[in-house]
Chain A
């Protein structure tokens, strides 16, 4: 009885495993392998040393005192530091505001926010680029009209603003995800808890702090992990909106890998970045899987 039982699941997984070996596992191993070679020669950790110490990845000469480029790893970290709290805050805020059906235009606002999730990322990148274009985009015009002339510029063309244009664009694109998750989370909290808290004497803020927020914790875990993954892997929007420029000011790891690979034709450095990026994404991924179990 025991043997067939333990082998059966494996049998059903076989087709998937057969596909995974050549298309996933082999390339991963091969990439790791490549990362230890340069021009066909085994160089140990030299590639890692070179990439990690290069100003492409971490530019400590310019960060944080001088203007960008600051290096793609730092850019990714800045990206996360702004994008993660913003999307959580906005998504949760919108979900809370639009919770009741009676709110006028709630489904319209939800649709607009969610549009960011639906459109292809390439289009999102293009929209971002136009949003921040001097003379054409809304944001420079509005800021200009408010008298902030220094920001009435084409954001993607200047090193000081390029990264922030991409981050702000990404906030719109990704807020729909957290809004959707939190909307579903809020809908799943029985109204009895709120009413019990009301009777126990809680005000709106206390209800949020003591009831809503703790009960949304499983949702928050998913949103944080998924956003971290998305932020670390960010590529298309940057590629289309700024191409990582100007002068690498908005370069991120995934695009850096592409740059090493396609422009500098250095597969080995590209492989190093790939391994680093994968390691970084594994952290939130493993955390998420652990928490879900």
Chain B
């Protein structure tokens, strides 16, 4: 078993910078998710780790072994990296049976026939493919194909699993099921796994840690809780969470209030102290709050009119059953609140809204980095 380490890795395709100065450490046995919008460089990063793509610059280590460093002229081909990859398209060889597909990496490694047979059966057992071993890929359902692709990766007992959106071709229900199975399987095998997705639910539910990428740049690496509760910057705050975080421009007054123009909120004492220390008093910042931290006053625990409470107009109410997404407006400022399902708000009505001041985020206007 081994971890994976990227140090200052770049990838350029002609003029396009696909991956920019990426440094990332994946620990032995860890399940790390690469998450980001389409075209942000997730696949490219994974392909560089696999050896299907050579970095333009930087070093990649698998375990203690340097596998890529263009400056030193080091490039270890995929077959010598001891990794296995699951492709988005599964890439099952269409002319081979399920058995042969799974056995293929072993056959190439000249594993004795008897052992191949045993190991394939073992993997098939684990993945529930025993009945399907004689079929060709085209005779399988999407979920079954997915499992065969997994089987082909597992059978070799590699150091690292690389997976590129392996669940994206499945329907919603199967995806939820496979999500749990995959997670369980990873735990069971304890193999270091790097998993690419643009689905934040997959990222939050499966990953030990999540690495969020935007425009080829690593934005934040952390546990699902960390990236959700302590986003490092505006991008991460906005990218994770649904409905997305509210962002409003605000100025911090010298006496510790947030002045939105239309209304004011009182900062907590330690927040004021921190902002004072960092020199943000009297400055403009970006205020962020998640919709679930905006309450219908009826259900709020701590409400102090004028300090964390404001009267807002209800524009639209989206009833999701478990909660109500309420589009709110104070003067010219719009934001979302995710209200308790028992909330009686209705469109056109005015409602008292409470902000959970412990859960607010403040970001620097220029660098977009988190202050609080």
Q: Does B336 contact A (CB under 8 A)?
A: no
Report B-chain residues with C-beta under 8 Å of the C-beta of A217.
95
Q: Does B215 contact A (CB under 8 A)?
A: no
Report A-chain residues with C-beta under 8 Å of the C-beta of B156.
200
Q: Does A111 contact B (CB under 8 A)?
A: no
Q: Does A46 contact B (CB under 8 A)?
A: no
Q: Does A193 contact B (CB under 8 A)?
A: yes
The residue on A at minimum CB distance from B105 is A200
In Å, the complex CA distance between A206 and B104 comes to 11
Chain A window 255-283, contacts with chain B (Cβ cutoff 8 Å), 1 for yes, 0 for no: 00000000000000000000000000000
Interface centre among B78, B91, B156 (most CB of A within 10 A): B91
Contact assessment for B87 and A195 in the assembled complex, using a CB-CB cutoff below 8 Å: yes
**What bracket does the count of chain A residues touching chain B fall in?**
10 to 19
Report A-chain residues with C-beta under 8 Å of the C-beta of B50.
199
Contact assessment for B84 and A199 in the assembled complex, using a CB-CB cutoff below 8 Å: yes
Q: Does B93 contact A (CB under 8 A)?
A: yes
Contact assessment for B52 and A192 in the assembled complex, using a CB-CB cutoff below 8 Å: no
Report B-chain residues with C-beta under 8 Å of the C-beta of A211.
93
Given contacts A192-B89, A206-B108, contact A198 B95 (CB under 8 A): no
Report B-chain residues with C-beta under 8 Å of the C-beta of A210.
93, 104
Report A-chain residues with C-beta under 8 Å of the C-beta of B104.
197, 200, 210
In Å, the complex CA distance between A190 and B88 comes to 13
Chain A window 181-224, contacts with chain B (Cβ cutoff 8 Å), 1 for yes, 0 for no: 00000000010110111111111001000110011010000000
Given contacts A206-B108, A210-B104, contact A196 B77 (CB under 8 A): no
Contact assessment for A199 and B83 in the assembled complex, using a CB-CB cutoff below 8 Å: yes
Contact assessment for A195 and B91 in the assembled complex, using a CB-CB cutoff below 8 Å: yes
Contact assessment for A196 and B87 in the assembled complex, using a CB-CB cutoff below 8 Å: yes
Per the 8 Å Cβ criterion, residues 74-106 of B in contact with A are 77-79, 83-85, 87, 89, 91, 93-95, 104-105
Report B-chain residues with C-beta under 8 Å of the C-beta of A199.
50-52, 78-79, 83-85
In Å, the complex CA distance between A214 and B93 comes to 10
In Å, the complex CA distance between A201 and B111 comes to 12
Q: Does B177 contact A (CB under 8 A)?
A: no
The residue on A at minimum CB distance from B149 is A196
Beyond the given pairs A195-B52, A195-B91, 7 more chain A to chain B contacts, judged by CB atoms under 8 angstroms and listed by A's residue number, are: A193-B91, A196-B91, A198-B77, A198-B79, A199-B79, A214-B93, A215-B94
| Distance between A192 CB and nearest chain B CB, rounded to angstroms | 4
| Distance between A5 CB and nearest chain B CB, rounded to angstroms | 31
The residue on B at minimum CB distance from A206 is B108
Q: Does B109 contact A (CB under 8 A)?
A: yes
| Distance between A21 CB and nearest chain B CB, rounded to angstroms | 42
Contact assessment for B79 and A201 in the assembled complex, using a CB-CB cutoff below 8 Å: yes
In Å, the complex CA distance between A210 and B77 comes to 19
In Å, the complex CA distance between A190 and B91 comes to 8
Q: Does B152 contact A (CB under 8 A)?
A: yes
Given contacts A206-B108, A210-B104, contact A198 B91 (CB under 8 A): no
The residue on A at minimum CB distance from B109 is A201
Given contacts A199-B79, A202-B79, contact A215 B95 (CB under 8 A): yes
Contact assessment for A201 and B91 in the assembled complex, using a CB-CB cutoff below 8 Å: no
Per the 8 Å Cβ criterion, residues 47-74 of B in contact with A are 50-52
| Distance between A279 CB and nearest chain B CB, rounded to angstroms | 33
| Distance between B73 CB and nearest chain A CB, rounded to angstroms | 20
